[in-house]
Amino acid sequence: MNQSVLAAVASKHAHFFAAGEKLQDRYLVIRQLGAGGMGAVYEAVDERLEVTVAIKETFAVDARLRRQFEQEARLLAQLSHPALPRVSDYFTEDGRAFLVMQFIGGDDLAQIIAQQPGPFPRAQVIAWADQLLDALIYLHTRERQIIHRDIKPHNLKLTANGQIALLDFGLAKAHASDQTTTFSSHSVFGYTRRYSPLEQIQDQGTSPQSDIYALGATLYHLLTGVKPPDALARAAALADSKPDPLATAHELHPVIGRELSSVIDKALALKPSGRFQSASEFREALRLIGRHESRRPVTSTEYSDATRSVSSIDPFDSYAILKPAETVWTSPRRSWPLGVAVAIVAVMVVAISAAFPVWSGSQSINSVADSARTATVKSSNPAAAHESNSERVRGSSSASMAPVVERDRTRATEKQKRQNRHTTNTPSDPPAPSLKNALRVPAQ
């Protein structure tokens, strides 16, 4: 029995659940999210755990397909990745099989495209591609390798925090590393022609390169705003010696650039051998473009809200109230007010007087006053300041000799006193030193 007959039989006997119906006395149906020839998806509430879930039902009536659906449910329940929904339950009821998985709200990319036709921002698409390729690396490198086999905008959703999620594993197939698994690599539920590789359309089996083609076709659509032609039409054109109907991405939208366009072209090669051989290789090619983007200058054409690179965005651009003025980042020159300058000069003079007490108190006070007057005159009258400086230079030689003369006079006085004491025979207490002598610097 072929797929079309199976779908017809299944859809004929399908019964869609209405809001308010309950499954397993646990899952309360809220609404139907979607339906097709082979199944339906519902939003429901798990009343036991009090969380919202998505319930997927298969309409398959063939026992072999039902067993495979159950095996896939067990396999998907083992997955744990930020871009993949978690499977929490599987059950049958009234001869029908159901899969319970994490509910991710919001619109899928197909709905967003319908509401806002046209290319998505280039940097945003590359960021989504990096997240999806990380998920494919996780799926493709497991011991029981999983091929998604239905990557397309309808199966991509944006989470509440802006991350991308890959949904709908209805077509997923697993392969054991020793090739002894009973899972078939052939399509059971069908495919989506615009995003599926030639080998899947011709039912020749799938591989990791099949997911690479589907992701490449999806990225092509997001970047250009145009769906790619299906692989069978491309193969027919080439068989008739006609040009490939797939236009290069940068021809449709020049801002994509030749480098990114060539990466997409390689992912969309008709033969699996011509594509990237792994999701890791595909991801590294995109990351290399990102590193080049961070080093090259951005042109005025590219620097727009829809196309500019993430690395070139000023984080303050969208928040003018937070953007500081340019002068805030420069250190202002320090300028001293007149009063502060006079006070500093006065402190310096007092410190010098304490270090050299041979200067009389009147001399120190006069020096402080003279310095203060000089600083005031200098700031208010440059000419007078210059004249004052000249007078100070002329008197510097005589002023510098005053301490020397005073020191010699003091030494002579002290010597005479010692001689007078030695000439008398009656002992007496030495006179108490005067404050002036106590502060005097000892003779060297």
Let me know: does 186 contact 168? Beta carbons within 8 Å: no
Give the alpha-carbon dihedral of 248, 250, 253, 254, to 10 degrees: -150
Query: Could you tell me the sign of the dihedral formed by the alpha carbons of 389, 392, 393, 394, in that order?
Result: positive
Phi, psi of 189 (to 5 degrees): -100, -5
Choose among 193, 130, 203: nearest CA to 173: 203
pLDDT at position 315 is 31
Extract the tokens encoding 47.
């009343």
For residues 364-390, average pLDDT: 49
Measured CA to CA, the distance from residue 281 to residue 136 in angstroms comes to 11
pLDDT tens-digit map of 287-315: 998 776 655 554 444 434 333 333 333 33
Please provide the CATH number assigned to the domain covering 3-102: 3.30.200.20
Q: Which of 328, 326, 300, 324 is nearest to 312 (CA)?
A: 300
75, 80, 33, 82: which is closest to 54 by C-alpha? 33
pTM given for the model = 0.62
The half-sphere exposure of 105 on its side-chain side, counting CA atoms within 13 A, is 6
Query: Where does the pLDDT of residue 106 fall: very low under 50, low under 70, confident under 90, or very high at 90 and above?
Result: confident
pLDDT digits (tens, 9 = 90+) for 92-101: 988 889 999 9
In angstroms, rounded to a whole number, what is the distance separating the alpha carbons of residues 387 and 378?
10
Alpha helices in 105-207 (DSSP H): 109-115, 122-140, 198-201
**Which pair of tokens denotes residue 90?**
């599987």
Decide if 21 contacts 55 (C-beta within 8 A): no
**Phi, psi (deg, nearest 5) at residue 347:** -65, -40
Tokens of 96: 């029908």
Contact 266, 275 (CB under 8 A): yes
Return the pLDDT at 64.
81
Torsion, Cα 204 209 210 214, to 10 degrees, reads: -150
Indicate the CATH number for domain 109-314. 1.10.510.10
The Cα–Cα gap between 222 and 252 comes to: 12
Higher-confidence residue: 437 or 85? 85
Strand order in the sheet with 27-35: 22-23, 27-35, 39-46, 51-58, 96-102, 87-93
Token pair listed for 295: 């080093």
Across 225-238, b (16+ Cβ under 10 Å) vs e yields eebbbbbeebbeee
329-354 tens-digit pLDDT: 333 444 555 565 666 767 676 666 66
pLDDT in tens, 43-73: 999 999 999 999 998 887 778 878 878 887 8
- Band of residue 374 on the pLDDT scale cut at 50, 70, 90: low
* Pairwise CA distance, residues 192 & 11, whole Å: 19
Q: Looking at the chain, how many residues does it have?
A: 444
> Which carries the bigger pLDDT value, residue 389 or residue 329?
389
Q: Among 73-82, 199-208, 340-349, which is the least confidently predicted range?
A: 340-349
Ordered by start, the domain boundaries in the chain are 3-102, 109-314, 338-420
> What is the rounded CA–CA span in Å between residue 108 and residue 166?
10
Whole-number Å distance between alpha carbons of 367 and 350 = 9
Contact 440, 407 (CB under 8 A): no
